[in-house]
Amino acid sequence: MEPANPQLEKSGWFTKHKLLGYLFLVLVFAGAVALAYWWQYGSRTTITINDNDNKTADWKTYRNEEYGFEFGYPSDWQILSGTAKGWVAVGPIDRESSWHPVGEGRSKDLEFGSQVLSEYLEENDYYNKNPRSLLDYLEFYGSYTFGSDPDIVDNFEETSFLGQKAYLVSEGGMSGGYNIVFEKYTRVYTVELPYNADPSAENFGLEEQQYSVLSSFKLLEPKTENWKTYTNEKYGFEIRLPEYWEGYKTSLRQLSYSGIAVSFDFPYTFYGTKTYYQGAFQILIYPAETWPSVQFYPDGSKPRKLRETDTYVYAYAFGQDFGGNIELDRAAKDMMKIIETFELIQ
């Protein structure tokens, strides 16, 4: 049967699609306007962001391969001398009196520190508790009352810094204030925050330039591209050695408390003739349940923990009296860099 009014039906179809056509044209026009607006103003926004980034374009960079970090600082700031080994302080050249308040334990300068874990623990272990790790140290000294000792941990809490686990440590005594402390590459890194820092405030409550310097801090990766890899599949670890270690030897040694020592012996020549070997360092592997009982390595040194799994605790110890000629002294200088390449494998 024919539709009762085919002309009307056709007209309705045409009208409906005609409206859709108009709507399409409106959308195209609106899109063109938006594109023009973005071209005119959106690109300016991008330039503004770049201009903000350029606020640090004339900054200087402090870089220290030995300490393993770098940071940027304004051109009218300076690196301050007189700090302890492993520490660097930075602040304005023309500091106002508020930057160095009289009678305060801290200034408004930023200080960055880097120490080998074993040195850090020994230096700060005032009560001879023999902590084996950074967390061991914080847990003991953060739960004990020491009166007004300025270098003792008051309390601490876990936080994140540079995308990894760190600790926000508050110090008691006269120095007061807060530090960010974390461990990486067998080193302990400390950021001593200025006395005006407030962890509960946005950006730690720091002034703009202070926070920008803090934000620019980063660790340097060890340069080991051409080093050779030693792999121990039985105990699940690997470590990298410089090219000049070619010809080194390893040996296994049974230890008390069911431990194993993998000794690395460095080759050297005596008057350019015969090759000799001297023990450089040992990677120690202890069952996790016996590690708390381990106090000293057989030669009297303190083993320092590297990693821990459900099964093993991995630690290291250095050979006694290593060095004595140019080759050995060179190897001794790189020893911690080698230890820092230690990694667990599947």
Amino acid found at 92:
P
Task: Note the pLDDT of residue 8.
Answer: 29
Task: Note the pLDDT of residue 195.
Answer: 86
User: What is the Cα–Cα distance from 210 to 192, expressed in whole angstroms?
Assistant: 12
The set of residues, in sequence order, having a beta carbon less than 8 Å from that of 92 and lying 6+ positions away, is 74, 76, 77, 78, 99
Task: Note the pLDDT of residue 326.
Answer: 83
CA 197 to chain centre: 21
Over residues 187-208, the mean pLDDT reads 90
For residue 228, pLDDT over 90 is answered with yes
CATH, range 60-219: 3.40.1000
Mean pLDDT score across all residues of the chain: 79
Span 147-157, pLDDT tens digits: 545 456 778 99
User: pLDDT exceeding 90 applies to what percent of the chain?
Assistant: 36
Structural domain boundaries in the chain: 60-219, 228-344
Task: Note the pLDDT of residue 254.
Answer: 94
Closest CA to 170 of 220, 217, 105, 229: 105
Q: Give the pLDDT band of residue 51 (cuts 50, 70, 90).
A: very low
Over residues 42-69, the mean pLDDT reads 62
Tokens representing 270 are: 């005596």
For residue 166, pLDDT over 80 is answered with yes
Is residue 314 packed enough to be buried (19+ CB in 10 Å), middle (13-18) or exposed (0-12)? buried
Asked whether 281 and 264 are in contact (CB, 8 A), the reply is: yes
Over residues 106-113, the mean pLDDT reads 86
Task: Note the pLDDT of residue 95.
Answer: 66
Amino acid found at 294:
V
The CA distances from residue 269 to 276, 277, 318, in Å, are 6, 9, 21
Question: DSSP E strands: which ranges in the chain?
Answer: 60-64, 69-73, 77-80, 87-92, 110-116, 153-161, 164-171, 178-184, 187-192, 218-219, 228-232, 237-241, 249-254, 260-269, 275-287, 304-308, 312-318, 343-344
Span 293-308, pLDDT tens digits: 887 776 667 788 888 8
User: What is the Cα–Cα distance from 75 to 106, expressed in whole angstroms?
Assistant: 23
Query: Is pTM, for the whole model, over 0.85?
Result: no
The CA distances from residue 118 to 31, 62, 123, 332, 335, in Å, are 64, 25, 9, 16, 13
Task: Note the pLDDT of residue 72.
Answer: 95
Question: DSSP E strands: which ranges in 117-177?
Answer: 153-161, 164-171
Task: Note the pLDDT of residue 50.
Answer: 30
Task: Note the pLDDT of residue 206.
Answer: 93
Span 124-141, pLDDT tens digits: 887 877 787 888 889 888
The set of residues, in sequence order, having a beta carbon less than 8 Å from that of 189 and lying 6+ positions away, is 68, 69, 112, 113, 114, 181, 182, 183, 219
Task: Note the pLDDT of residue 81.
Answer: 63
User: What is the Cα–Cα distance from 123 to 85, expressed in whole angstroms?
Assistant: 12
Over residues 169-191, the mean pLDDT reads 83
Over residues 282-299, the mean pLDDT reads 87
Q: Give the pLDDT band of residue 176 (cuts 50, 70, 90).
A: confident
Task: Note the pLDDT of residue 105.
Answer: 54
User: pLDDT exceeding 70 applies to what percent of the chain?
Assistant: 74
Q: Give the pLDDT band of residue 99 (cuts 50, 70, 90).
A: low
Largest alpha-carbon pair distance within the chain?
116
